[in-house]
Chains A and B, each alone.
Chain A
């Protein structure tokens, strides 16, 4: 039980976030209006995705250092969960953009960067599919995973900031923390980031266990 406290924490935080997100008091902003509640869901999903991708890259580095196949399994499952979070982030973002910016997929550098980032990780999955030998697949896809993450970071954090973007914090717009969020919203937003990340870790853990069982059954 002592090892599972973080699962309980994740459930608690997410329940709190749901309640606050649907019923809590939010500041009234022009254009955003009530859709500002999406800050609790859309933004933490992206933060969670980046944290999960970083973890995936770290496990790939671990694999290259010691060659344990278990690390590779963990790396690919973290990448899978991150892709799921990315798709959910896109969905919540489209919904939000539809109300505030007028169309579900405006031509915005951040959206396009993220779409390219998703392509990069889908290519990672395709690369994995094209090997039969386990060790070979693990080594080569670990190399690509590290490489992809190193390109993903400038793609997400630097390129959108050099051009004009609709997103806050880019192209000279102030970041959302500066004027949109009051301290009350922050009390929900930061736990939401932790909660969604923990949920991602939980999903990953389950999938890793399924994979390990499959490997044992196959032997």
Chain B
């Protein structure tokens, strides 16, 4: 057990190092979310606090969704096939997928928090219950990372990964997105937290299903 945790730590470290050495990709993602927020801000031409809460919330999650798809799509294509084969001789496929999911969760958290602060900065912050909203962001980061990592593994094997990534992930991510929209809307309106427990449970259940499936299915995927 301790050995396997150590190996996963090494794999995570590899992911972070890889990202750090190709900083243009990371900077690209950061710029992508800031740029997307700014495009929305200018397109709506909204002065602070003019968007209705529903539009504010939905727009933010759509931006996050597109950022997530773009950020996670590259988790399998940025390394050459030969080098991936080498990793598979060193570690079990389960360790590889878990470390990739953990890494992508961390990446999504950074992107989501940055996106939220920029978004709140330019478009105003109507959120009443900020801790709950941040918790939603964390849950969303885990869910997006877990479901999109496996999908990006699937898409990377095909001819046309970019389109396929979008086509495969939109419907898969939708139940999660709807639940997250609901919780974050509750947080936005500052409703009592007990209202959100049901949805919170559903999000956790979906996260658990998706994580288990990634764990079970990835060993079949990498062999091809």
Contacts and interface: CB of A to CB of B under 8 A. Distances in A.
Nearest to A121: B171
A9 to B, nearest CB: 35
A43 interface: no
Interface residues of B, number: 32
B154 A154 contact: no
A184 interface: no
Contact of B159 (A116, A130, A162): A130
Interface stretch (B32-40, B79-87, B213-221): B213-221
Interface stretch (B4-12, B13-21, B46-54, B202-210): B202-210
Contact of A154 (B150, B199, B205): B205
Interface in A122-179: 123, 126-127, 130-131, 135-136, 139-140, 142-144, 146-148, 150-151, 154-155, 158-159, 162
A144 B171 CA distance: 12
A162 B150 CA distance: 27
Give the secondary structure class of A's interface: helix
Interface residues of A, number: 28
A127 B213 contact: no
A142 B147 CA distance: 16
A144 B220 contact: no
Contacts of A154: 175, 202, 205-206, 209
Given A130-B160, A143-B150, 4 more contacts: A64-B217, A131-B159, A136-B224, A151-B209
Interface of B: 147, 150-151, 154, 157-160, 164, 167-168, 170-172, 174-175, 178-179, 182, 198-199, 202, 205-206, 209-210, 213, 217, 220-221, 223-224
25 contacts: A116-B171, A120-B171, A123-B167, A126-B164, A127-B154, A127-B158, A127-B167, A127-B168, A131-B157, A136-B157, A139-B223, A139-B224, A140-B221, A143-B154, A143-B217, A143-B220, A143-B221, A144-B154, A147-B217, A148-B172, A151-B147, A151-B175, A151-B209, A154-B205, A162-B199
